[in-house]
Amino acid sequence: MKRINILILLLALTLSACGRNKPGPLGADAPADNVPNIIGSYALNAFDPTGEQYGGTLTITEGGQPNEYELQWLISGGIHVGTGTLEGNQLAVSWHSVSGTDQNVSGIASYTVTVNGELYGTRSIDGVDTPGTETAYPNPK
């Protein structure tokens, strides 16, 4: 099972790098009453709380309640999952690790949605004072 997770992680990281140029500037923040659909796959560019850069894939699917979403991060170091609620252009998420080198890690994230469907914000780890930053760019469909 562990080998399968590692293979999936490597495949996801490889695919997330395909077809992406260096990200351009983000779009303007989406108006709270006109937020684009955020369901889909995203290329992730991020910095952890120590300033170390990492990347990967963020996948967002529909949750069980209105304005609720399920998130999955495939990043170097592991797989994380979370549940988020979208209010206006703000996505608030609670997350935890499910496999990888950083098991038993959890935290919260807060993203702003742009008019282009990008997400940017912070992701915090429980017990760590400084949050990291993440920017997610929609993968072409």
Task: State the pLDDT at residue 11.
Answer: 39
- For the chain, what is the radius of gyration of the CA atoms? 14
User: What distances in angstroms separate CA 48 from CA 17, 27, 93, 113, one per listed residue?
Assistant: 19, 23, 17, 20
pLDDT band at 4 (very low <50, low <70, confident <90, very high): very low
Helix and strand counts by DSSP (H, E) for the chain: 1, 8
Q: What is the CATH number of domain 2-138?
A: 2.40.128.120
**100 or 71: whose pLDDT is higher?**
71
Looking at every residue in the chain, the average pLDDT score rounds to 86
Q: What percent of the chain has pLDDT over 90?
A: 73
The predicted model scores a pTM of 0.82
CA nearest neighbour of 123 among 65, 77, 70, 73: 73
Tens digit of pLDDT for each residue in 75-104? 987 999 999 999 999 999 999 999 876 678
CA nearest neighbour of 120 among 19, 30, 22, 14: 30
Other residues' Cβ atoms within 10 Å of the Cβ of residue 116: 14
Tens digit of pLDDT for each residue in 113-129? 999 999 999 999 999 99
pLDDT band at 13 (very low <50, low <70, confident <90, very high): very low
Tokens representing 131?
A: 């949050």
